[in-house]
Amino acid sequence: MPNYRYGRYVYGPDPLALPFDVRGAVDEMGDAILAGANPADALREMLRRGFGDRAGRRGLDDMLRRVRERQREIRGSGRLDGILEQARALLDTAIGQERAELFPDPGDEARMREADLDALPADTAQAIRQLADYDWRSQAARQTFEQLKDLLRSDVLDSQFRGMRQVMQNPDPQAMQRVKDMLADLNEMMAADARGEHTQADFDQFMERYGDMFPDRPQNLEELVDSLISRMAAAERLLRSLSDEQREELAQLMANALEDAGLAAEMARLADALRSRRPELDRAGMGGSVQMSGEEPLGLGDATTALAELADLAELETALGQDYPGASLDDVDEEAVRRAFGRQAVDDIEALRRIERELERQGYLTRNAGQLELTPKAVRRLGDTALRRIFSDLSFGRAGDHDLRDAGQAGELTGTTTIGPYAAVLPIITGSAWVTGHSRWLLDETDPFPVGYTVGDIWGPQADRPGAAGPFHSAQWQGASS
């Protein structure tokens, strides 16, 4: 016997959900329009608030709030100079271990080694460079120094290729050679694309070989280039966020790490290819510094990831704010929304985008010379909604509570008015009726009585006899005489 399991649908919008209720959107715009706003402003305000359909779609203001909360969270996550602190700590540990090994040795060689250690520059990058060929006597110090070099290699690569740190967790010559092969193949692929010779099959083959190095799983070369440029711009922004001394020290550390790994030439070639492909990269790198308020030191890869995410959030904040000429919800990057807030937020954005399209498609809004205008269908809907709200706020008694014989069966008066010089009441009539036809009365230009005439009393006292139609009093006919 088959077993069935039921649960909430989590793979996007509910396929069984009712279509979006555009009438509800018109009603929500109605308050602003009746208060004097134009349709475009009323629509924009509704998009900011979101709309209260049963799916509970969030509006732009709510998403902006979440963007700013995430920005504050990232800025408080740590310090950008963490890699300098980590490198200095490992270097000091290695030097301390070497000194401990040399101290018991009374020989001159040990004293000469100690003198060499004493003469190391205070700059971490320069000290590491000088120790590159140092013959460590302490095995523990040698291992610590190798750990330092592995950290710098993996962090520098991770700053350009997100996820490379995981690939380099167990560094060995084969793993490093594979990274070199990937860089060489990537540069060749970009060169082929510049010549117009690249194909999607080439990219698929590249990803088949090196897909584990790209956890974002780009689908084509353009997406891969976007990811690399985002990381490269974030790394440059990180350097600009440090002091002059820290910037110089970190740049030297990165250069040393790439040179030590034999990757300097291929990385320089990649950087040139990216700048040639996207000239705006230099301007993106000039985007200014970023202030971080956290206490935890961040590694180079983590710091680059944080700044790349902050850059994405800044662009998302601008797009969601819609405060620039020609702003449109089409400017919102769905992929950036998904990365920041998940699939539900993407569905919310798509629902907001559908509002304007559906309002036009279903005949509630139209465009005239680029301006949104209400159609007669929308005006009728706003009128109906206004009346429903008015009557829902009125307090009525039970039908028949009043001594109003002329109000009609089950009728209820809601007020009084005047028609010309005559007083009148405003009843609500319940029940049903048949409409059997309609007539149109027109005033003929040749009518001898254009303002009507008075009909005299032609029945007289006979009207009082049984079966008579009743008295027909004089009345003024305002209309045609025929």
Backbone angles phi, psi at 426, to 5 degrees: -115, 95
Average predicted confidence (pLDDT) for the chain: 78
Domain assignment present for 246: yes
- Quick one: pLDDT at residue 5? 74
The 3-state DSSP class for residue 287 equals coil
Residue-wise pLDDT tens digits, 362-403: 888 888 877 778 888 888 888 887 777 776 665 555 444 544
Give the whole-number percent of the chain exceeding pLDDT 70: 78
- Quick one: pLDDT at residue 465? 45
Residue-wise pLDDT tens digits, 124-136: 888 888 888 888 9
Q: Which residue has the higher pLDDT, 340 or 185?
A: 185
Q: For residue 143, what pLDDT band results from cuts at 50, 70 and 90?
A: very high
Domain assignment present for 62: no
* Full residue range of the structural domain in which residue 480 is found: 446-482
- Quick one: pLDDT at residue 412? 61
Of 226, 254, 289, which residue is a domain's last? 289
Residue-wise pLDDT tens digits, 105-118: 888 888 998 998 99
C-alpha 186/C-alpha 270 separation (Å) is 8
What are the DSSP calls for 144-169, one per residue?
HHHHHHHHHHHHHHHHHSTTHHHHTS
Q: Which helix (H) or strand (E) holds 419?
A: strand 412-419
- Quick one: pLDDT at residue 464? 47
Domain assignment present for 64: no
Of 243, 268, 289, which residue is a domain's last? 289
Cβ atoms of 411 and 427 within 8 Å: the answer is yes
Residue-wise pLDDT tens digits, 21-55: 677 788 878 878 877 888 888 888 888 887 654 45
Give the number of domains in the chain. Answer: 2
Of 289, 319, 335, which residue is a domain's last? 289
Residue 144 has pLDDT above 90, yes or no: yes
Rounded to an integer, what is the distance from CA 305 to the centroid of its chain?
Answer: 19
Domain assignment present for 388: no
C-alpha 219/C-alpha 263 separation (Å) is 26
Q: Which of 271, 275, 301, 281 lies closest to 186, judged by CA?
A: 271
